[in-house]
Amino acid sequence: MTTDPPPGTYTMRPIGVIRSPYTETSQIPKGPGAEHHAEGVLELLPEYAAGLKDVEGFSHLYVLWVFHRATDYDLIATPPVDPRPHGVFSTRSPRRPNPIGLTVVRLLDRDANKLRVRGVDMLDGTPILDIKPYLSSISEEDLRRGWLAEAEERRRMEGSGK
């Protein structure tokens, strides 16, 4: 049995663009406790608008997008929430071998090919690769948060002076 991936590269065309209030990465909340409440618009190219039929019924959507301003990748990343280094695939770093971003947004409303959403964490002009309905079937008890839970616990202990 081989573990080699199939050869080749995969060409994807953006289906649209994200309109966001952020023009610089420094404006996007990050670090411990960062929350994403900013509104934005997912603007699909007119030729893909028919693909939005029935999307209004979903409260949340997954948006797959391109870190189009990332220039390279690092296999080890040190996220802003923890001084300890972690493998890139256990982080949400923008500097990844395939610069694909994934964000869950709340759908506020739709106007033809435009979806107004809340919870954007990407730059204005970011290309959209795909949109899918968000359906979570994993219960709180089954969910493990790895190093992030440990980093949060360390911060909590430091904060309480223990």
Ligand X SMILES: C[S@@+](CC[C@H](N)C(=O)[O-])C[C@H]1O[C@@H](n2cnc3c(N)ncnc32)[C@H](O)[C@@H]1O
The CB-of-102 to ligand X minimum distance in angstroms stands at: 4
Residue with smaller CB distance to ligand X, 144 or 162: 144
Q: Report the alpha-carbon distance of residue 128 to residue 34 in Å, rounded.
A: 23
- The vertex-153 CA angle with 147 and 158, nearest 5°, equals 125
Annotate 98-141 with DSSP letters as a single string: S-EEEEEEEEEEEETTEEEEE---S-TTEEEEEEEE------GG
The CB-of-12 to ligand X minimum distance in angstroms stands at: 15
The CB-of-25 to ligand X minimum distance in angstroms stands at: 3
**SS3 at position 150:** helix
Residue with smaller CB distance to ligand X, 40 or 67: 67
Residues that bind ligand X (CB under 6 A): 25, 28, 30, 67-70, 92, 94, 101-103, 121-123, 126
The CB-of-38 to ligand X minimum distance in angstroms stands at: 11
Residue with smaller CB distance to ligand X, 92 or 110: 92
Instruction: Report the candidate in 12, 145, 16 with the shortest Cα–Cα distance to residue 82.
Output: 145
Residue with smaller CB distance to ligand X, 29 or 133: 29
